[in-house]
Chain A
Amino acid sequence: MTNPSTPAIRFDQVSRYFGEVKAVDHVELEIGDGEFFSMLGPSGSGKTTCLRMIAGFDTPTSGQIYLYGQDVSNLPPYERSVNTVFQDYALFPHMTVGDNIAYGLMIKKVSKPEQKKRVAEMLELVKLSGFAGRKPSQLSGGQRQRVALARALINHPKVLLLDEPLGALDLKLRQQMQVELKSIQQRVGITFIFVTHDQEEALTMSDRIAVFNEGKIIQIGSPAEIYEKPASPFVASFVGTSNLVSGEAAKRITGSEQMFSIRPEKIHLGSENSAADKDMISVDGVVRDVVYLGLFTRYLVEIEGGTDLVVVEQNLKTTSMDVLSVRGQKVRLHWHKDHISRVGG
């Protein structure tokens, strides 16, 4: 954190309209220096448009974007100290891996030996030493991704933008790259802005997350805040699975009809009439369905007042035979009163 008072990126009432469509609608946002910041949301929520406006591929219809205090709203991409890792990697097919990575330096007319030295450093950073002479078409998806990362980082951008860079990789590789991206970010100390629709990805890597929906930011916070204290029904259901309870059922539990959310793993499944500590909330219900998932079991419990709650319990001692026999039984659910989150609406 070189200068904590100046944010890396600041959005001041930024809007982007495409005709009648409000892709981004009066967004206010501050991203700190050195932060790993994720923009999370479903497709069409405006997160990618925000990223493209930071990169300069798109300009705001109204409002200003500041990069370390400088208004860059109308600067072309080549005049911003920002680099992008594209969703499709966008590697130049007619150039070798080495030439791709050196592209930014070549444009800046950095001397050849210097280019070579820095390309070698970058290849080492992304664990691709020895690949400089290959063409992008000879690389796997994961390797191309690393080349795209190296090509962006070699320019020492003030901010690195990543547009769903892991979307095209398979699950194993994606999880591996998540860890690697985070460690690279900590090593280079550059602000990363990461766009994704995958909530798990956002929760794993980010310092802070902005949840987008319909062109607006619904909630900004740390992964734990977003997950534990969702500010709206949308956040509660988009980030992880959540039980949303309202109306009559809510009134029986909390005394108010206001909607609240409770995460499935926070609920403990107890036997009929089981007792609980004083800070716990207890609700009676009937197990409607049981799904055995190996690591854990998912129960669907209908509680008094007519709402179904999803409950997840780890299979610590139980076997599939044990858990499946619970179907149809009366149970009592317990959870700590601090674990519910009022989401209004």
Chain B
Amino acid sequence: MLNRASTYLYQRPKLILALLLGPPMIYMLVVYLGSLFALLVNSFYAIDGFTGQIVRKFTLSTYAQIFSIANREIFFRTAGMAAAVTVVDALLAFPLAYYIAKFSSPRIKTWLLIAVTLPLWSSYLVRVYAWKLILAKEGILSWFINLLQLDGLLNWLLSIESIGGSSLAISPLGMFIVFIYIWLPYMIIPIQTSLERVPKSLLEASSDLGAKPLQTFRTVILPLAFPGVVAGSIFTFSLTLGDFIIPLAIGNSKFFIGQAVYSYQGTGGNVPLAAAMTMGPVVIMVIYLLIARRLGAFDAL
């Protein structure tokens, strides 16, 4: 019976393909693209200011609200944070990824990769709240800064209006630190993957042809690892763009996109505005991905 079924399937490769791809494709189309489409439709509705009911009629008035000064600020704040987090993550991740890919012994490599991915095994929420404790006024970081006698520097940073706050645990600076920590593995892994695929002989060839280590890095390693950096930046940038937990937990009263969406559709009950706000990051990411594809980032995934 089983034998006949195998033979039947073996002779019909297209049926196998349909069976294998069918379920995920249906899921992608209905659940993923379907909900995205629902979002798009909703963003063209508006809310009746008086009754609070959604008026199901095509209008661009919701999009007009996005360009209010308050909402524009939210966009710039979020995109700025996402860009800064991406740059710092790339700078932090590269040396570690380089070490893992090119210098570590197989044993150490395994341990380092486990260490990099280990935080992902525990809940994101737990880690964010753990950081809230670390960053708190009486937290371990303050204690450490005190030990280094850098209180003055910290207080000065916290006094800067755009990044500071009453303590690191309630400030854009603190958010920045937590974002960097939370998304770092997503930057390390793609860079490590892309470096892993650079044969050692290429580095030897460069050195053989007279290039000093720094020249080799600039002319061979960096160009070949760049797709990996771009791939990693897609993760760090988009994840920061859409996150609302960290701004909620660590941030101050100034909203990020995710928070705005969360409050508009929740307490505000303004689903159309929330939907329109969501389309912002979607558009930004589509543009980002198109650029990334041109830079060859998807070869490194």
Chain A residue numbers with a CB within 8 Å of B208 are 55-57, 77-78, 82-84, 152
* Distance A152 CA – B210 CA, assembled complex (angstroms): 11
B28 within 8 A of A: no
B-binding residues in A (CB < 8 A) = 55-57, 76-78, 82-84, 86-88, 90-94, 103-104, 106-108, 151-152, 155
Give the number of residue pairs across the A-B interface with Cβ within 8 Å: 61
Complex Cα gap A91–B198 (Å): 11
Total interface residues in chain B, CB < 8 Å: 17
Question: Does B204 touch A at the CB level, under 8 Å?
Answer: yes
Contact assessment for A83 and B209 in the assembled complex, using a CB-CB cutoff below 8 Å: yes
Residues in chain A near residue B212, CB distance under 8 A: 78
B215 contacts A90, C-beta separation under 8 Å: no
Q: Of residues 197 to 219 in B, which have CB atoms within 8 Å of A's CB atoms?
A: 199, 201-202, 204-212, 215, 219
A133 shortest CB reach to chain B, Å:
18
CB distance from A240 to the nearest CB of B (A): 31
Chain A positions within 8 Å of B202 at CB level: 90, 92
Q: Is B223 an interface residue (CB 8 A)?
A: yes
| A103 and B204 contacting across the interface, CB-CB below 8 Å | no
Contacts of B163 in A (CB 8 A): none
- Measured in the bound complex, the distance between the Cα atoms of B201 and A141 in whole Å is 17
Q: List 21 A-B contacts (CB under 8 A).
A: A55-B208, A56-B207, A57-B207, A77-B204, A78-B210, A78-B212, A83-B208, A84-B205, A84-B208, A88-B199, A88-B201, A90-B201, A92-B205, A103-B219, A104-B209, A106-B219, A107-B211, A107-B219, A151-B205, A152-B208, A155-B209
Q: Quick one: which of B215-229 are within 8 Å of A by CB?
A: 215, 219-220, 223-224
Smallest CB gap from A88: residue in B: B201
- Using a CB–CB cutoff of 8 Å, the interface residues on chain B facing chain A are 199, 201-202, 204-212, 215, 219-220, 223-224
User: What distance in Å separates the Cβ of A55 from its nearest Cβ neighbour in chain B?
Assistant: 6
Assembled-state Cα–Cα distance A27/B212 (Å) = 29
A107 touches B215 (CB 8 A): yes
Q: Given the known A-B contacts A90-B199, A90-B201, A90-B202, are A77 and B207 also in contact in the complex, defined by CB atoms under 8 Å?
A: yes
Interface of B is mostly: helix
B198's nearest neighbour on chain A, judged by CB, is A93
Starting from the known contacts A88-B199, A103-B206, 12 additional A-B residue pairs (CB-CB under 8 Å) come to A55-B208, A57-B208, A83-B208, A84-B208, A86-B201, A86-B205, A90-B199, A90-B202, A92-B202, A106-B219, A152-B209, A155-B209
Q: Are the CB atoms of B207 and A76 closer together than 8 Å?
A: yes
B224 CB contacts on chain A under 8 angstroms: 93-94
Out of B209, B210, B223, which one reaches A94, CB within 8 Å?
B223
CB distance from A178 to the nearest CB of B (A): 23
Bound form: Cα–Cα A77–B216 in Å: 12
Which A residue sits closest to B224, measured CB to CB? A94
**Choice from A57, A104, A108 contacting B204 with Cβ under 8 Å:** A57
Given A88-B199, A94-B224: A107 in contact with B210 (beta carbons within 8 A): yes
Q: Which residues of B contact A155 (CB under 8 A)?
A: 209-210
B106 to chain A, nearest CB (A): 15
- Do the beta carbons of A90 and B205 come within 8 Å of each other? yes
B122–chain A nearest beta-carbon distance, Å? 39
